Amino acid sequence: MAKIKNVGVIGAGQMGIGIAHVCALAGFNVKLNDVSLERVNSGLATINGNMARQVSKNAISEDERKGALGRITAAGMLEDLSDSDLVIESAIENEELKRKLLSDVCRVLGPDAVVATNSSSISITRLASATDRPERFIGIHFMNPVPVMELVEVIRGIATDDATFDTAKGFVSALQKKIAVAEDFPAFIVNRILLPMINEAIYTLYEGVGNVEAIDTAMKLGAHHPMGPLELADFIGLDTCLSIMQVLHEGLADSKYRPCPLLVKYVEAGWLGKKAQRGFYDYR
Ligand code: CAA
């Protein structure tokens, strides 16, 4: 089991910043990377705001916030991650892009560094084949919002060795998160169950069974979900929801996973949910 001190996070989107946030609070040194320093700095500002909210709610102290922020460094280039013991790739859910980033980052890392992906659906075994170290490659899948959600899925690829599996489990435990071990099947456990429910909610809207408000109210009050499925879809990002449904549909070759045409249309329109200010709800 490798000792992890320095963590590199690739991608300063909503998942990447959440991962950097919890790693820094747990005492790891974090380098946060994205395609530009502007994007990283905007991510750092969001982390600052989220930690300030935690301070105002007494979830963490002001000293913990300052300490954690001091442990996060902006990294404008993948080369900046070269001293990482663990890299977590958290780019968008696009296999081609992930393969390129994983292959590129391996070139700058030491031979013993562990490489993980936060992919929410793509085969870990397939992504591992883009790296020079399939035995030290693993899926570590966080849930959104990362600072709040207790679960992390850990997924081994076919070549992942026992030491890497133990390192990943030890790392997740150090973040005070609970682990669910999933086999390397499309979308693993949480999204295999959650995304078909969200897709079905979109079909329910598409077929006119209920409007947005009725569907979300029904599931919040009728099934005790903290968010309705359409609100949750906006929160996850409709592009991510569509990507996951496509992985399920292609990977399991079953028509029950067919993405709802309305979901496809919203993504084509650029209505990607909360981050785009427009999805099933209007945030403008
Ligand atoms: N950082 C830090 N703290 C945060 C936060 C963030 N980004 N977002 C929310 N919080 C904290 C708030 O400060 C608040 O803390 P307290 O309980 O101490 O007051 C708490 O979370 C609740 O937040 P709010 O009061 O603002 O709002 P809420 O009560 O409506 O809860 C929610 C918000 C936690 C997001 C809740 O609605 C929820 O659990 N929704 C479902 C989320 C979910 O299902 N996530 C999984 C998505 S699937 C996934 O992630 C997998 C994938 O690959 C797609």
ipTM > 0.90 (yes/no): yes
Q: How far is the CA of 146 from the centre of ligand 1 (A)?
A: 8
Asked, for residue 253, whether it belongs to a domain, the answer is yes
170 with 233, same domain: the answer is no
- 244 within domain boundaries: yes
Q: Which of 33, 82, 118, 120 is an active site residue?
A: 120
Atom 27 of ligand 1, residue of closest alpha carbon = 226
Q: What is the CATH number of the domain that holds 237?
A: 1.10.1040.10
Is the C-beta atom of 233 inside 6 A of ligand 1?
no
Point out the domain boundary residue: 120, 151, 182: 182
Q: Of the residues 133, 156, 182, which one is the last residue of a structural domain? A: 182
Whether the Cβ atoms of residue 25 and residue 60 lie closer than 8 Å to each other: yes
Distance 227 CA to ligand 1 centre (A): 9
Q: Looking at the domain assignment, is residue 278 inside a domain?
A: no
User: Is 250 in the active site?
Assistant: no
Q: Are residues 178 and 200 in the same domain?
A: no
What is the model's pLDDT at position 231?
Answer: 98
d(CA 177, CA 161) in angstroms, rounded, equals 22
- One domain, residues 145 and 165: yes
The verdict on residue 281 lying in a domain is: no
pLDDT digits (tens), the chain, 284 positions: 779 999 999 999 999 999 999 999 999 999 999 999 999 999 999 999 999 999 999 999 999 999 999 999 999 999 999 999 999 999 998 999 999 999 999 999 999 999 999 999 999 999 999 999 999 999 999 999 999 999 999 999 999 999 999 999 999 999 999 999 999 999 999 999 999 999 999 999 999 999 999 999 999 999 999 999 999 999 999 999 999 999 999 999 999 999 999 999 999 999 999 999 999 999 99
Domain membership of residue 280 (yes or no) is: no
**Residue 210: exposure state from Cβ atoms within 10 A (0-12, 13-18, ≥19):** middle
Question: Residue 264 falls within a domain, yes or no?
Answer: yes
Q: In the annotation, is 141 catalytic?
A: yes
Residues 151 and 30 in one domain: yes
| Total tally of structural domains belonging to the chain | 2
- Same domain membership, residue 156 and residue 15: yes
The confidence score (pLDDT) of residue 1 equals 75
Compute the CA torsion angle 64, 69, 73, 76 (nearest 10 deg).
150
Q: Are residues 209 and 133 in the same domain?
A: no
Q: Do 137 and 222 sit in the same domain of this protein?
A: no
Active-site residue flag, 84: no
User: Is the same domain home to 102 and 17?
Assistant: yes
Of 182, 204, 236, the residue at which a domain comes to its end is 182
Rg (CA), the chain: 19
Question: HSE (CB half, 13 Å, CA atoms) of 93?
Answer: 23
pLDDT at res. 31: 98
Residues 114 and 171 in one domain: yes
175 and 236 co-located in one domain: no
Amino acid 2: pLDDT: 76
Do 172 and 65 fall into the same domain?
A: yes
Q: Residue by residue, what is the 3-state secondary structure of 203-234?
A: HHHHCCCCCHHHHHHHHHHHCCCCCCHHHHHH
23 & 164 share domain: yes
Q: Which domain holds residue 260?
A: 192-273
Is 283 within a domain?
no
Give the pTM: 0.95
